[in-house]
Amino acid sequence: MNTLISTNYNFPAQTAVYHGKVRDVYSIDNDYLVIIATDRISAFDVILPKGIPYKGQILNQIASLFLDATADIVPNWKLASPDPMVTVGMRCEPFRVEMVIRGYLTGSAWREYKAGARTLCGVILPDGMRENEKFPSPIITPTTKADEGHDENISKDEIIASGLVNREDYEQLERYTYALFQRGTEIAAEKGLILVDTKYEFGKREGKIYLIDEIHTPDSSRYFYADGYKERLERGEEQKQLSKEFVRKWLIKNNFQGKEGQRIPEMTPAYCESVSERYIELFEYITGEKFRRVDSGVDLSKRIESSISNYLAKTVSFSHALSKK
């Protein structure tokens, strides 16, 4: 399998590098970021040992498409995508919260609701709701953005009182979040999908708020198929969904949930290929476009290094690109 699971580049003017669960982030001149979407896959806060073919390309291209499709709502960090697995953009100072927005009662919100909770991140929830039922209107349930360990739920009042984000900025983040979710919902509906929930991250640069990181990808969002949604809801059945939930279910079935002493089940080449096919299905449903496998027979690491180096060496300077943003 031709996958990219690690990088170790040294670009001109490189000042730092950060290796996340899935993305590797290179800081250039402390002012720009080169983000490489690798083929790594994580679940239960654990990076799994094998890469998934084309996963990085899929995530990067979905995020790039949605950044472009929402740029009229909020400016974003993206400047260019010089390789199918790479985005280059402006470095922003990130807010220390993630804006999670939910249109439906599912996932961790349902688990808390089922256990009796009727308030989530300061939002009061109506009684009598069923799993996967649509909220009367979308709710924002922010989390802290942890450097290590798990993100924690937090309310708007707690965010402002603690100084994580000032009131003016936070209320602008709320407005952007609702507008982005509405746009994502409309685009999903055109494809026969329901955007169930997602998260957005924002940063600030020279006093201006920007959308950063990925957006509306299957790693950051949950989608249901619209066809049959109401019937499955009425019967109390699981919804057919587009997300990486199928990977989590496979791990649970094989007795792994990231807990101490548990072993990751064997990821055979056949299993990794099956996951790749599911991600390609996700791409084609979400974008409405046919997925094109890029350069499957080349050395991915060398291709990406060359793509980035060529972009950075362009005669069009970063500052010129930024002035056109």
Share of the chain above pLDDT 90, in %: 80
Span 285-319, pLDDT tens digits:
999 999 999 875 678 999 999 999 999 988 445 45
Residue 12 has pLDDT above 50, yes or no: yes
If you average pLDDT over residues 9-22, what whole number do you get? Answer: 92
**Topology of the domain comprising 94-242:** D-amino Acid Aminotransferase; Chain A, domain 1 (3.30.470)
DSSP E strand boundaries for 52-192: 78-83, 86-90, 93-94, 97-104, 119-120, 123-124, 134-140, 143-144
| Least confidently predicted of 14-28, 36-50, 305-319 | 305-319
Res 324: pLDDT: 47
Q: Is the pLDDT of residue 323 over 60?
A: no
Asked if residue 78 lies in contact with residue 67, where contact means CB atoms within 8 angstroms, the answer is yes
Q: What is the pLDDT of residues 53-108, one digit of tens each?
A: 999 999 999 999 999 999 999 999 999 999 999 999 999 999 999 999 999 999 88
CA distance 102 to 135: 8
Q: What is the pLDDT of residue 165?
A: 97
pLDDT bin (cut points 50, 70, 90) of residue 244 is confident
* Segment among 1-5, 77-81, 95-99, 259-263 with least mean pLDDT: 1-5
The pLDDT of residue 322: 46
Task: Please give the average per-residue pLDDT across 222-251, as a whole number.
Answer: 91
Better-scored residue on pLDDT, 79 or 151: 79
Predicted TM-score (pTM) of the model is 0.89
Tell me how far apart the alpha carbons of residues 67 and 83 are, in angstroms, rounded to a whole number.
16
d(CA 87, CA 214): 10
- In the block, which residue shows the tokens 């496998």? 293
The whole-number pLDDT of residue 241 equals 85
Any long-range contacts for 163-170 (C-beta under 8 Å, 24+ apart)? 164/95, 164/96, 164/97, 165/95, 165/96, 165/97, 169/95, 169/204, 169/209
Q: What confidence score (pLDDT) does residue 149 get? A: 55
Q: How many residues does the chain have?
A: 325
Q: Where in the chain is the domain with CATH 3.30.470.20?
A: 94-242
As a whole number, mean pLDDT of residues 15-24 equals 93
Does 204 have pLDDT greater than 60?
Answer: yes
Q: What is the pLDDT of residues 282-292, one digit of tens each?
A: 899 999 999 99
Q: Which CATH class is domain 14-91+267-319?
A: alpha beta
Kindly indicate the confidence band of residue 18, based on its pLDDT and cuts at 50, 70 and 90.
very high
Chain region(s) in the chain for CATH 3.30.200.20: 14-91+267-319
Per-residue pLDDT, averaged over 4-11, amounts to 95
| pLDDT at residue 265 is higher than 50 | yes
Amino acid letter, 207: G
**Amino acid at residue number 17:** V
Question: What mean pLDDT is reported for the chain?
Answer: 92
What confidence category does residue 243 fall into, taking pLDDT thresholds of 50, 70 and 90? confident
